[in-house]
Structure 1
Amino acid sequence: MSVPIAPGRWPFLGHTPALLRQRFAFTDTLPRHGEIVRLYLGPAPVYFVASPRLTHEVLVNEGPKFRKGAMFDKFRPFVGNGLVLSNGDFHLRQRRLMQPAFHRDRLAAYAEIMRRAATDLSDSWRAGEVRKIDEDMQSLAVTIVGEALFSTELGKAAITEARRSIYVIIQQGMIRALSPKFVEKLPVPGNRRFDEAITRMQGIVIEVIRDWRRAGTDRGDLLSTLLLAGMTDEQARDEVLTLLTGGIETTALALGWTFHELGRRPDVEARVHAEVDEVLGGRPVTIEDIPRLTYVRQVVDEVLRQYPLWMLMRRTLTEVDLGGVRLPAGAEVIVSPHALHHDPKSFADPDRFDPGRWAPDRVDAVPKGAFVPFGAGNRQCIGNRFAQNEIVITVATLAARWKLVPVAGRPVRIKFTSAAYPDSLPMTVVPR
């Protein structure tokens, strides 16, 4: 189906709050028009894939016929050719080199970093204080990914810089990716903050890499895995920046929204607390506990469904037959996790927060391609298990000791960029 959009009205352009809200509203209505909807970005057609079935084709069955699309091209000059942005044989090579960093034994070591960081955060809270939970979760996510990447004193400086710069890079970078080319040349504060932040991050990462080269020893961190695999300084820098940007936003947002939803739903919160108490029995959480925290994982999956990325882009490498529609080589294709996760054909009453959707007797009813919080196929996020473990371990650690109560008269609103951010998330810390 073709839905022509006048160039001046295309809702991807611009980034005022009102237009950002329109993006979600616009893409979420497209499945009503068919499985593939042709849009126009000015004179150029863009194909919106609006069904789980064809999403699975694009991301999995026909995945090798696609590469990353136009939105990702605009990131490459700034964050390099890391795993999220690279294509073809180079992407496959890099993924294979990085895979050992996410094997089970390494995940167990990272789980200890996660538990320790979450415990330190828990210990810093005081009964009755109001915390900015969104900021706490952002800081926690930076700490966890940073400590998994870097284990030296200089690495601590890189983590400090990441706290300062990484969210500027993520949010201002998305604005650039969704705006016309000329916008990045404008002398406006957002552009200046982005340019300064990416320069600082690139500089400190290269400094840490050169420090590692001088020592030349396996320190058991992610950076050691990359360099011992034979990556050049530039390749390792790009992958580190990719892991920092890709490994922080999703988990920080998921954690913030999890505590928001628990605060709104005492029934869900009570089940989480009961399960944590039963499984842990007052001891620290370990990676072996994660499979037993079944309801916590249901809550996490529902948060990932409710608050996902807005969209992914792909470009056809060759002509592709997709659902009977012939897409030419070079066609730009959009998949919207947000639209898929809120499609009532896949999820009844999709705006309702319901962890029961992910109960063992219901989860198999979710169609393939309907739930893609980390992508799918050969481009699925390499750190998806890392992220899921991080969220569950943090929730279990904090919920074992605290209740987080919404602040009366402080409604939480959503700011939209690449994903759904809370405008603020104040919550009162109450001992259990």
Structure 2
Amino acid sequence: MPVPVAPRRWPLLGHTPAMLIRRAEFTDALHEHGDVVRLDLGPLHAYFVTSPALTHEVLVSQGSKFRKGAMFDKFQPYLGTGLLLSNGEFHLRQRRLMQPAFHRERIETYASTMARAAASLAARWQPGEIRVIENDMQELAVTIVGEALFSTEMGHRAVEEVRRSIFTVIQQGMIRALSPSFVEKLPIPGNREFDAAIARMKAVVLQVIESWRADGTDHGDVLSMLLLAGMTDQQTYDEVLTLLTAGIETTAIALAWALYEVGRNPEIEHRLHAEVDAVLGGRPVTFADVASLTYTEQVVQETLRRYPIWFVMRRTLTDVQLGDVHLPAGAEVIVSPHALHHDERYFPEPRRFDPGRWTPEFAASLPRGAFIPFGGGNRQCLGNTFAHTEIVITLATIATRWRLVPTRPARVKFTSAPYPHGLLMKAVPRN
């Protein structure tokens, strides 16, 4: 069957201006035009999948017929062949090598780092102080992921560089991914910032790897595990940069938005504080407490629904049938967690932040593919449990001591996801 073409197509530039100008407002509405809709990104034809069932086919049931798509090709020269960008047997081998770093026993060890880092951040706040919450959460996410990756003094210096550079890489990289190839060669400020940030991070991470090679000690961190598994310096660098990129962005965004939504909804705030008080009784949160913080988990689920990654791309390896649409080998396919999570057919009043919707019955009623904050299939984010645990522990730690009250409505800076921008909140002691 012919595939409907999305509206707002420009000559030569296709739908790229609509996506850069209107962002999720544009892609969230594409389901009105069909289960598969054609988008033109400059000269590149892509097929935007809007239904949960076909999304599940792309990510899971027919996942072996797809590889990473054009968006990821733009990142490969800079991020290498880590889990985020690799394909085929190599991807499966690397995933198996890295899985032990995210087993339950390891997560339990990381949980103490999460609680300590969150408590240290909260201890620096002063009553009545106005905090830029997205900056605080970025700092916290970098600290937690950095300490899990690197435990040495040299590693701590690497964390400082990552804190300086990682969000430039993420945000400017997304602009490159949506733009024609010639744009990344232009001598414009964004390109210079991106190239400089990549160069700085590569230099410092390779220094850490060189230091570890000279020392040869198992420090119990992820870097030690990767090197002891026999990875080369380059492959270790690629995986470290992948973990830094994927492990920081999602959690920092989710934490900032969760604190904002809790702070502006008194009923949600009251329920969260009541649960934290009942479960913790004023003591520090532990990994064992996470399972008991059920309403906190609902807040996390709703945050991941409301503020997910915008979209990901896949490329067909062979001919693929998606519903009524036949796609040839080499076709570019787009899947949007944001569009799926804001489809009112599955999430009534999708713009309303409502943790209470996440009852077991509601979660069980969702069709496969409707809720994909961490992707699906053999490319589901390896660190999803790490991220969930980090967000729950941080929310509980902050909630034992503080209320955070927004001083103005949130502003959004949309790149690879809806980033909070200038999220100012007043720190109010609970006692």
Which structure 2 residue ranges, 5 or more long, are not aligned? none
Rounded to whole Å, the distance in 2 between the matches of 1:334 and 1:241 is 24
**What do the CA deviations read for 1:235-266 (whole angstroms, capped 9, x no partner)?**
00000000011110110000000011011100
- For residues 98 and 282 of structure 1, the distance between their equivalents in structure 2, rounded to whole angstroms, comes to 36
Counterpart among 3, 9, 13 of residue 5 in structure 2:
3
What is the CA–CA distance in structure 2 between the aligned matches of 1:110 and 1:334, rounded to whole Å? Answer: 34
CA distance in 2 between counterparts of 1:397 and 1:351 reads 27
Deviations 1:287-315 (A, max 9, x none): 11111101000011101100111101000
Superposed, 1:215-364 pairs within 5 Å as: 215-364=215-364
Please give the per-residue CA displacement for 1:360-383, whole angstroms capped at 9, x wherever unaligned: 232211211011111011000111
Distance 1:7 1:156 in 2: 49
Amino acid in structure 2 at the alignment position of 1:10: G
- Correspondences of 1:130-145 after superposition (within 5 Å): 130-145=130-145
Contact 1:202 1:237 (C-alpha < 8 Å) held by counterparts: yes
Q: CA deviation at 1:135?
A: 0.4
1:68 maps onto 2:72 in alignment: no
Q: CA deviation at 1:186?
A: 1.2
TM-score, normalised by the number of residues in structure 1: 0.96
Is 2:16–2:42's contact at 8 Å kept on the other side of the alignment?
A: no
SS at match of 1:309: coil
Equivalent in the alignment of 2:393:
393
Partner amino acid, structure 1, of 2:423:
L
CA contact (8 A) 1:11 1:22 kept: no
Percent identity between the two aligned chains: 65
- Partners of 1:251 and 1:259 in 2: how far apart? 12
Aligned-pair distance for 1:180? Answer: 1.1
Greater CA drift, 378-387 or 182-191: 182-191
- What do residues 348-401 of structure 1 show as CA deviations (whole Å, max 9, x unaligned)? 111111111212232211211011111011000111110110000000000011
Q: Name 1:12's counterpart in structure 2.
A: 16
**Shift in alpha-carbon separation, 1:261–1:23, aligned structure 2, 3 A:** same
Alignment partners' CA distance in 2, 1:389 and 1:382: 13
Equivalents in 1 of 2:17, 2:146: separation in Å? Answer: 33
**Cα–Cα, structure 1 residues 300 and 187, in superposed 2: closer, same or farther, change >3 Å?**
same
Label 1:20 to 1:40 Cα distance change in 2 as closer, same or farther (>3 A). Answer: closer
Instruction: Write the letter of the residue equivalent to 2:152.
Output: T
> Residue 325 of structure 1: CA displacement?
1.6
Which amino acid in the other structure matches residue 12 of structure 1? T
Q: Once the 2 structures are TM-superposed, how far is the Cα of residue 43 of structure 1 from its aligned partner?
A: 4.5
Q: Helix, strand or coil for the counterpart of 2:288?
A: helix
8 Å CA contact 1:102–1:386 kept in 2: the answer is yes
Matches within 5 A, 1:15-54: 20-54=20-54
Alpha-carbon RMSD: 1.2
Shift, 1:406, TM fit: 1.0
Q: Which residue of 2 aligns with 1:180?
A: 180
Query: How many Å separate the matches in 2 of 1:219 and 1:10?
Result: 51
Q: Distance in 2 between matches of 1:190 and 1:42?
A: 20
Aligned match of 2:102:
102
Matched letter for residue 425 of structure 1: L
Give the 3-state SS of the residue equivalent to 1:288 in structure 2.
helix
CA distance in 2, matches of 1:258, 1:336: 21
Distance in structure 2 (CA, Å) of the matches to 1:196 and 1:44: 28
1:47 aligned counterpart, secondary structure: strand
- The residue number in structure 2 matching 1:412 is 410
| Cα distance in 1 for residues equivalent to 2:130 and 2:44 | 49
Unaligned runs of 5+ in 1: none
The answer as to 2:206 corresponding to 1:206 is yes
Instruction: Decide whether the 8 Å contact of 2:13 with 2:42 is kept in 1.
Output: no
Determine the C-alpha separation between the residues in 1 that align with 2:11 and 2:73: 21
- The CA deviation string for residues 158-204 of structure 1, in whole angstroms up to 9 with x for no partner, is 01101111111111111111111111111111111111110010011
- Offset, 1:42: 4.1
Contact 1:134 1:253 in 2 (8 A): yes
In the superposition, relative to structure 1, how do residues 329 and 122 fare at CA in structure 2: closer, same or farther (>3 Å)? same
Q: What TM-score do the two structures reach when normalised by structure 2?
A: 0.97
1:55/1:370 CA distance change after superposition, 3 Å: same
8 Å contact kept, 1:134–1:252: yes
Please identify, of 244-253 and 38-47, the stretch whose mean Cα deviation from structure 2 is larger: 38-47
Counterpart amino acid of 2:22? Q
Counterpart secondary structure, 1:7 = coil
Amino acid at match of 1:168: T
Secondary structure of the equivalent of 1:105?
Answer: helix
Partner SS for 1:247: helix
In 2: Cα distance, 1:330 partner to 1:13 partner = 24
Amino acid at match of 1:3: V
Q: Deviation at 1:324? A: 2.8
Provide the secondary structure at the position in 2 that maps to 1:74: helix
Is the 2:165–2:201 contact (alpha carbons within 8 Å) kept by the matching residues of 1? yes
- Bigger Cα displacement from structure 2, 150-159 vs 410-419: 410-419
1:180-232 superposed Cα distances (whole Å, 9 cap, x missing partner):
11111111111111111100100111110111111112110010111111110
Matched residue, 2:168:
168
The answer (yes or no) to whether the contact 1:305–1:373 under 8 Å persists in 2 is: yes
Q: Is 1:2–1:39's contact at 8 Å kept on the other side of the alignment?
A: no
The answer for the alignment partner of 1:422 in structure 2 is 420
Secondary structure class of the residue paired with 1:362 = helix
Measure, in 2, the Cα distance between the counterparts of 1:129 and 1:77.
43
Structure 1: how far apart are the matches of 2:172 and 2:37? Answer: 29
